[in-house]
């Protein structure tokens, strides 16, 4: 499996989401997770905060 490939069962569920912005956000999270799945104690917190800010257009 390619490093960035997400399990098909998961992507099939994501495809059922109607809201395109929500769907793209979830795809981004999954892609980020997959890229770093083999790293021990990977620091997700700041990356997720940045992704949420970008997706919502907020600075909080």
> What pLDDT is recorded for position 57?
80
d(CA 23, CA 39): 25
Among the listed residues 34, 24, 27, the one whose alpha carbon sits nearest the alpha carbon of residue 11: 27
pLDDT, tens only, 2-43:
545 778 888 888 999 999 999 998 988 888 887 777 776 666
d(CA 14, CA 53): 21
Q: Residue 58 corresponds to which tokens in the numbers above?
A: 């907020």
> What pLDDT is recorded for position 1?
43
> What pLDDT is recorded for position 41?
64
Helices 20-35 and 45-56 pack at an angle, to 10 degrees, of 160
Domains in the chain: boundaries: 8-56
């Amino acid at each position: 499996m390619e490093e960035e490939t997400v399990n098909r069962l998961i992507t099939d569920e994501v495809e059922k989401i109607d809201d395109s912005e929500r769907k793209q956000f979830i795809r981004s999270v999954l892609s980020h997770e997959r890229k770093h799945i083999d790293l021990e104690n990977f620091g997700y917190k700041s990356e997720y905060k940045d992704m949420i800010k970008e997706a919502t257009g907020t600075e909080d």
